[in-house]
Chains A and B, each alone.
Chain A
């Protein structure tokens, strides 16, 4: 059931079609300001969020990913910190450029996702999102929804509650919830229909962040997902004892012996005192 915990729904606008040095510097500052991550190192993934459009990914004059299709993903983490020059998404096997990304500065730390997707008007584009890898309090998981489809702003309902409102293209919102199953649907902002996504059942996995990308043209919206695991926190404590251990006969005998020894010691001390004063 929906039982939003702590975190308020935040709408973060990430709008970076062209990755410039200034923007990357700002990203780096934001990364440093984020509290200690549950994961060390860097993670950069590349996602294909445009249906029916297989592409070749070109960088530094070479094809670096060939035949990249809708729903595919690639791990660019080994290239972290590098600047890829002249990045283009070309229709597979051709020289036709679907998306001209330009120079792409890949961050050297943190978790990021670059996704090829449609803008609100259907224009193919690419956007880099920064992923939240902060540890999640025990018992809970996270769901992030990113609007990367050909559609006007949307609302996201969980268990029938309008939880995320007025999410525009390239915007995201996040909820944190106890582990369990929720119903989810995405509709135009302030409307009840048409249901662009869902209704469907989504599982909140403890210690995991699920990222849902709403993608596709207005004629056939759908979604792809990405997960970040190992974000769990341990419980606060383990309280496995709420009454004293019963006194055994052995313990009683030890107590009796201790009392007897103390009595002997007291008697000896008293004797010595009398000797000193006599």
Chain B
């Protein structure tokens, strides 16, 4: 398990599991259960003399938008609320956000959760991102208790088309902001996952900012 999840946490796997295998060299099974190759009656194919038309087989069609029309992004359901019973979040409103003029994640109001709407919606392929304040303007934010989440806890997102999606917490990591793997957190390729982000660690009063980000990694249930 540690090995499988290590890629998410950005640390190398440091534990291995010994696997005991039954090695049976008798019969037509080789080690690890693979079947020994049997000679065939077929003729070997000489690749150099492959029939013409192979070139055509390597070419596949690409779908473009209709001539005279600009491509249209497909409609998708927008997330409306986030619930996390184990830390007392009950249908917190989700606001679609982007970046501000400086290129920073545009964090919404204190009692709102920001969904990075340039990226996937929770449950879509790639990493969807929800972020909210731990504390702002001297008052606690929606994610004030985010670090109390633990592996196995369940989260729920409700969408504007009436559907809901559940997510299971894999784990939490607290990163110093200068080593936050931010490209990975906002990667739109790869398996569907959802990360929740807030701040943590030491508060720097000169900068009105925390030293660390707390990241909760989840997958769709």
Listed from nearest, the 8 A-B pairs whose CB atoms lie closest are: A241-B199, A234-B186, A78-B58, A73-B62, A206-B118, A139-B99, A244-B203, A235-B105
CB distance from A72 to the nearest CB of B (A): 7
Q: Is the CB of B73 within 8 A of A63?
A: no
Q: Which residue of B lies closest to A241 (CB)?
A: B199
Bits for A50-68, please: 1 = Cβ < 8 Å to B, else 0.
Answer: 0100000001111111100
Q: Is A92 part of the binding interface, using a Cβ–Cβ cutoff of 8 Å?
A: no
Interface residues on B, range: 35 or more
Interface residues of B (CB under 8 A from A): 52-53, 55-56, 58-68, 70-73, 98-99, 102-105, 107, 116, 118-119, 131-141, 143-144, 177, 180, 182-183, 185-186, 188-189, 197-200, 203, 205, 208-210, 213
Other A-B pairs, 11, CB within 8 Å; known A47-B64, A237-B180, A240-B198? A61-B52, A73-B63, A79-B55, A137-B103, A139-B118, A210-B70, A233-B183, A237-B104, A240-B131, A240-B133, A243-B203
Q: Is the CB of A241 within 8 A of B59?
A: no
Q: Which residue of B lies closest to A244 (CB)?
A: B203
Alpha-carbon separation in the docked complex, A215 to B64 (Å): 15
Interface residues of A (CB under 8 A from B): 45-47, 51, 59-66, 70-76, 78-79, 137-139, 179, 200-203, 205-207, 210, 212, 215, 222-227, 230, 232-246
Q: Is the CB of A237 within 8 A of B67?
A: no
Q: Is the CB of B105 within 8 A of A237?
A: yes
Q: Is the CB of B99 within 8 A of A223?
A: no
Q: Which residues of B sit under 8 angstroms from A207, Cβ to Cβ? A: 118, 188
Alpha-carbon separation in the docked complex, A72 to B107 (Å): 43
Contact with A225, one of B59, B60, B65, B140 (Cβ below 8 angstroms): B65
Q: Which residues of B sit under 8 angstroms from A240, Cβ to Cβ? A: 105, 107, 131-134, 141, 143, 197-199, 213
Q: Which residue of B lies closest to A76 (CB)?
A: B59
Contact with A239, one of B65, B104, B138 (Cβ below 8 angstroms): B104
Alpha-carbon separation in the docked complex, A243 to B99 (Å): 21
Alpha-carbon separation in the docked complex, A60 to B119 (Å): 43
Alpha-carbon separation in the docked complex, A137 to B103 (Å): 8
Q: Is the CB of A232 within 8 A of B203?
A: no
Which of B55, B131, B183, B209 has the most chain A CB atoms closer than 10 A to its own CB?
A: B55
Q: Which residues of B sit under 8 angstroms from A246, Cβ to Cβ? A: 135, 138-140
Q: Is the CB of B182 within 8 A of A235?
A: yes
Contact with A70, one of B67, B119, B203 (Cβ below 8 angstroms): B67
Alpha-carbon separation in the docked complex, A139 to B198 (Å): 21
Q: Is the CB of B140 within 8 A of A245?
A: yes
Q: Is the CB of A201 within 8 A of B64?
A: no
Q: Is the CB of A244 within 8 A of B135?
A: yes
CB distance from A212 to the nearest CB of B (A): 8
